[in-house]
A and B are shown apart, each in its own frame.
Chain A
Amino acid sequence: MHSSLWLTFLLVVPLAGAIGAALTRKVEGRAYVVAITASFVELVLSLVVAFLYNDHVAQTQTFDFATRHVLAAPFGLAYDVAIDGISLLMIVLTALTVLLALLGARDRRQEPAFVAWMLLLTCFTMGSFLAHDLLEFFIFFELTLIPCYFIISQWGGRERSKAALKFFIYTFTGSAFLLIGILFLGFAHQHQVAGSALTFSYGALSATTMSHGTAVWLFIAFAIAFAVKAPIWPLHTWSPITYAEAPTAGSIEMSALLAKLGTYGLLRFAVGLFPLALVTMRPVVLTLAVIGILYGSMLACTTPDLKRFVAYSSLAQMGFITLGVMSGSTIATVGAVLLMFNHGVITIGFFLIIGFIEKRRGSILIKDFQGLQGPAPIMAALFTVVMLASIGLPGLSGFVSEYLILIGTFATHSWWAVVATFGVLASALYLLWAYQRVFHGRAEGANAEIADATTHEQWVLVPVVVLIVVLGVFPKPVLDRITPSVQQLIHHVAPSGVNK
């Protein structure tokens, strides 16, 4: 058991960075330095936590660094943090995302405010992953909306206000269901345990007994909020316009990181707290996930611009993650958690490169590009690596996670796995086709004059490529950390799938 101070530092560092960046608004460029420093420290801290993390704290649980302080007893409000192998990976992703987004997609318009919002977003996202209390999770989950909203509405593209509003209203409505569900669960628990105070602690609430009907309703309430956030078909309609209109750093944060908040929540809370509902709800959600995979792949073929293209391919990838999360098999769930991380890294790569291209050409429409690999071979090479990882080429990170998901799901729910496999084929189709349209052919006009990736841009993409290759070849250290926690969870919710 380690001191929870480490986790508190993870929250304080970005917060302090945000305040510091906001205070240095008088001096040109200093806010950026403060922000980079803060996010670098954050990344180092998260790696330290990852190395310290112990996956067998007690015989029965894998939560480490735990602490709990009640803040307002009548509300059941508490500061309660703890991590297990699943959240550990998300924490590292959070720290990595903000650093790469800031390094690779610098926005000089009102820079102090921009980096301050980015760091605040990091703090709130970190809080959501650290929270071991449902109310605390909800508060952080809601809080992430505010920085996102301001980042989109102030630094976004032409339709930014529409995109920002759509994003906010969608997610806010989704979380309405979540809040009512959390309250209902909290009171159900309070009424069961005689004389207990109102609490939303994860540990306490996971012991609540409930009827099958109640479990199903609560599962639906939770799942709606997380399905909006992820997004899972058919609640995804906010995401293409939002990803397309957000500034590059915002798109990175939202699709690489915040989307994971949805699938993480689905796994940790919807699946973890309502095992009874799974019998009924599993086929439904699995079906939605498979539809999402196919639908996302289809639209990715036809979409006119590159950011929407990544948005739809993300929809397909989120379908894979949902498939793994809901499969009830240890192997597939481990794959899903790994894919959350891998998809994050791959998406960072995609959006960074698209951002570089957008900066040069001022456009993200696929039809505006042709033959970019002539004038910009390094950029094309980097894009190829990211793209191949996304397709799931063996030896790169995407393959490991998709493979685990498909074999695990096949063991428990074979037909869904069979249909989902077509998604892998489809991803090769739409990615290669898009690559062909943008990078192949003869570059003419503005396309011929495009500059290749600068040294700075290459260095920003180095961590992405390294992670893609290393996790593709040697994922063991990461899998070792995830597996005990996932096994624990599956043991709790679906004992038959533990060894599948």
Chain B
Amino acid sequence: MKLVIPSIHYLAILPVLIFFGAALALVLVSALARGKVPLVVATSTVVTAAVASLVANFFQWRCVAKAGASVTIAHAIVLDDFSVVASGVIALSVIMTALVAHDWAIRERVSGVEFHILALASSAGALLMTQANDLIVIFLGLEILSIGLYVLVAFDRHRATSSEAALKYFLLGGFASAIFIYGAALVYGATGSTNLSTISYFLGTNVLLHPGLLYAGGALLLVGFAFKIAAVPFHLWSPDVYEGAPTPVTGLMASIVKVGAFAALIRVLISALGTQLDTWRPILWTLIVLTTVVGASLAVVQRNVKRMLAYSSINHAGFILLGVWAGTIRGTAATLFYVITYAPIVVATFAIVTLIGGVGDEHHSIERYQGLARRQPWLGAALAVLLLSQLGAPLTTGFYAKFAVLASVVDAGGGALALIALISAAIAAFFYLRWAMALYSDDGPEGPRVEVPRLTGMVIGFGVLVTVVFGVWPGPLVTLAQHATVLFTP
């Protein structure tokens, strides 16, 4: 038997290669170097890799514009504008996180390059998920993404909550992966392939007389995804993990996991199972209602801002799911637009939380923020803008993100669903505003002044700038998201 090596289009997987290469290089350097590798080297490697990946994205974009979308490595990897934009968002989040983590590592006296190696490897997994055209590759990406994150969550060895969170994340995450792969097996049984394009073709040309196997498989896949994006009722791990993980890691999780998981979810549901729209829509409907309402309601009673942001991100996950529910090009574009705008906001928010957390990363009660804007007007105003953006106030990208998904849902005939989601946003407004009010209040105990290191300051500034500039002038981002999905090919 002759082994056929499938042809490889290297440009298509260049970002993944860059991230893995950088991770390997860091491993080698730290093994071979005498003494410890300085932190600066690690951080600059990560930033360089991410910038290189962005440059690769640029060339990929031109390639797609010239030659159209393509598949490679035995149809397992796809290169289209959608994947290019999604990987660009991931690379940007990685840069922002690396800069925040740099200052954090100096403050916490964390030496060594392990943090950065793991961050690179995880992000490579997320990149792989945005390009996956095969259930097995999605699983691969999911595992690479998760394993790195399990360790990162446990990174703060001095805090018991960090290890506890990691264990919880690991057990539930492993369970979710098992469910996912079981679902993939059932779908394979029903359609004869794990390749998304083949599944789509098979379902488009055949009528399944006994679709039970496919439904069961699809449902299990959905459960696996729901775990990763923390959709209710599969969200129980998320508040504990968000709280326990070192804060820069929480920011990374909230951004890249969402981008990767939603990109893959869209490929599975819209590209592969698009013909089964009527079957998965009601399930997703229930999931969205639970996720938005429960996420927003439970956030209201939290006193710890990291837990609050965990529930807030659950609420946001519900909103992003709205775009998937629509199942249209408009919905896909809206989902992409949402994650593009959400990632910088959430990383910048967690950057501020990292700063306020102080040495030991322990001060996360809302009282700590009392009067922050009075002591440090710029930092306070930045956080206020980021919170208003998450709330969905106009003149921030958060408004247009919500607007885009809601528009797609109303267009697809889901007025009631859109209304429920929007009312959950009104509940969510309660805790964003309570937090924002604490920033400006002048009664109660005063927290200490915090130093804003330069790199973290840059990240926060960038996040605020993005949300305000594109909040006033959303044109370019909308066009980008729309362009990336017009050429959307399974």
Contacts and interface: CB of A to CB of B under 8 A. Distances in A.
Interface in A117-134: none
B437 interface: yes
Interface residues of B, number: 33
B426 interface: yes
Interface stretch (A179-187, A234-242, A304-312, A380-388): A179-187
B440 A75 contact: no
B478 A74 contact: yes
Contacts, number: 81
Interface in A169-214: 169, 172-173, 176-177, 179-180, 183-184, 186-187, 198
Contacts of B273: none
B352 interface: no
B419 interface: yes
Nearest to A138: B394
A179 B419 CA distance: 9
Interface string A386-410: 0000000000000000000000000
B388 interface: yes
A107 interface: no
| Most B C-beta atoms less than 10 A away, residue of A74, A165, A198 | A74
Chain B interface SS verdict (over half): helix
B400 A75 contact: yes
Given A161-B441, A173-B426, A180 B478 contact: no
| Most B C-beta atoms less than 10 A away, residue of A145, A154, A176 | A176
Interface stretch (B147-155, B172-180, B402-410): B402-410
Interface residues of A, number: 31
Chain A interface SS verdict (over half): helix
A168 interface: yes
Contacts of A153: 437, 440
Given A139-B394, A154-B440, A169-B429, A179 B406 contact: yes
Given A176-B419, A180-B415, A184-B410, A71 B475 contact: yes
Interface string B228-258: 0000000000000000000000000000000
A154 B373 CA distance: 12
Contacts of B423: 173, 176
A74 B433 CA distance: 30
Contacts of A172: 425-426, 429
| Most B C-beta atoms less than 10 A away, residue of A164, A165, A169, A179 | A179
A75 B403 contact: yes
B410 A180 contact: yes
Interface in B365-404: 388, 393-395, 399-400, 403-404
A165 B437 CA distance: 9
Contact of B475 (A72, A142, A143, A164): A72
B446 to A, nearest CB: 17
A150 interface: yes
B235 to A, nearest CB: 23
Contact of B418 (A139, A164, A183): A183
27 contacts: A71-B473, A71-B474, A72-B478, A74-B478, A74-B482, A75-B404, A139-B395, A142-B393, A142-B394, A142-B399, A146-B388, A146-B393, A161-B441, A165-B433, A165-B434, A173-B426, A176-B423, A177-B419, A179-B403, A179-B422, A180-B410, A183-B410, A183-B418, A184-B410, A184-B415, A187-B407, A187-B411
Interface of B: 333, 388, 393-395, 399-400, 403-404, 406-407, 410-411, 415, 418-419, 422-423, 425-426, 429-430, 433-434, 437, 440-441, 473-475, 478-479, 482
Interface of A: 71-72, 74-75, 77, 139-140, 142-143, 145-146, 149-150, 153-154, 161, 164-165, 168-169, 172-173, 176-177, 179-180, 183-184, 186-187, 198
